Amino acid sequence: MPLGTLDRTPPPFFKQGHSALSKLLFFSALALFLMVADARFRVMQPLRAAVATVLYPAQWLAMQPLLAAQSAGDYLTSLQSAQQAEQAARQQLARQSQRAGQVELLTLENTQLRQLLGLRGQLRVASQAAQVLYDAPDPYTRKVILDKGLSQGVAAGSPVIDAAGVLGQVTRVYPLVSEVTLLTDREQAIPVLNTRTGARGVAYGDPLTQGGALELRFMPANADVQEGDLLSTSGVDGIYPAGLPVARVARVERRADSAFARIHCTPQALVAGARHVMVLKPLADQIPAVPAADKAPAPAARGARTRGKEAQP
């Protein structure tokens, strides 16, 4: 065969087509166009929805083993937590049953002693249930809003407690709601009594501590205060009834350069997440008023009596 009749084109196996650079530029421009179009006109949203719908069964099947393992782990964890909570509740119920039997005996003895000594009976405090609606909008204070106000008989100065102890005090009352200042607010102070030693003191709010705490101030450096001591209301302020749990001593700092110890306390009440509370009536409404002091006689009256004495023979 003559050489002129041979096909000089390369076989199909060696055909390269478009260059790699031209392909890179084309697909880059296409990707950029699709991204801009999807961002501005949402042109890919129907396609994305269709692909997600088609792939959902496969995704659901692939997630079932993981979901089953998580459900089993959650079940075992919740079962263990429930058993621990039940055990703790049974122990607390046993302690409360023992205390209830002792309280009845102590109440009877207290009543008999008061009758023997002629002392007045203990004041009975009226109370009503309330619910915390929300925290006060002021971020620099520790206050909450209750769903009870003047129309329900709430008065300013009323103590507020929860299931664990004293929560705060009503500082502002509106017709339908009331504002409660928590114990951890820097403006709050409450007289307390150390149930172990019987020493009295005043606890002030310490909002700078994480979560809020109390500080027992003006206690001597050599005061008998230990970590774990329970502080309760002393009842001498005429507001809080005596015996309500307030806080527990968390840390005692005795410094050589100060005559007072720095005592940090943890509130017993749930100051960060209380929902249901009790509003007590202030004791000041039941305590008799202080009798007025006798007025000194006027100077004119004294002068008249003196002249009367001089006139006598």
Domain membership of residue 305 (yes or no) is no
234 and 170 assigned to the same domain: yes
101 and 227 assigned to the same domain: no
50 and 139 assigned to the same domain: no
pLDDT, residue 25, reads 92
pLDDT, residue 7, reads 56
Domain membership of residue 307 (yes or no) is no
Q: Which amino acid is at 279?
A: V
**Predicted model pTM:** 0.59
Number of domains the chain is built from: 2
135 and 79 assigned to the same domain: no
pLDDT, residue 289, reads 63
Both tokens assigned to 177 = 């709601």
190 and 273 assigned to the same domain: yes
224 and 258 assigned to the same domain: yes
Given the DSSP bridges, would you call strands 213-220 and 230-233 parallel, antiparallel or unpaired? unpaired
Domain membership of residue 304 (yes or no) is no
Distance of CA 143 to the CA centre of its chain: 10
134 and 280 assigned to the same domain: yes
Domain membership of residue 6 (yes or no) is no
pLDDT, residue 204, reads 92
Cα 282 to Cα 280: distance, rounded to the nearest angstrom: 6
Backbone φ and ψ of 152, nearest 5°: -100, 5
Mean pLDDT by 10 residues, the chain (313 residues): 55 65 90 86 82 88 89 88 89 81 77 73 76 83 90 90 90 91 90 91 83 86 90 87 90 87 91 88 69 55 45 44
Per-residue HEC secondary structure of the chain comes to: CCHHHCCCCCCHHHCCCCCHHHHHHHHHHHHHHHHHHHHHHCCCHHHHHHHHHHHHHHHHHHHHHHHHHHHHHHHHHHHHHHHHHHHHHHHHHHHHHHHHHHHHHHHHHHHHHHHHHCCCCCCCCCEEEEEEEEECCCCCCCEEEECCCHHHCCCCCCEEECCCCEEEEEEEECCCCEEEEECCCCCCEEEEEECCCCCEEEEEEECCCCCCEEEEEEEECCCCCCCCCEEEECCCCCCCCCCCEEEEEEEEECCCCCCEEEEEEEECCCCCCCCEEEEECCHHHCCCCCCCCCCCCCHHHHHHHHHHHHHCC
pLDDT, residue 4, reads 54
- The SS3 of residue 124 is coil
181 and 68 assigned to the same domain: no
Distance of CA 40 to the CA centre of its chain: 47
Q: Residue 67 sits in which domain range?
A: 22-119
Domain membership of residue 8 (yes or no) is no
Q: Which of 66, 93, 119 is the last residue of a domain?
A: 119
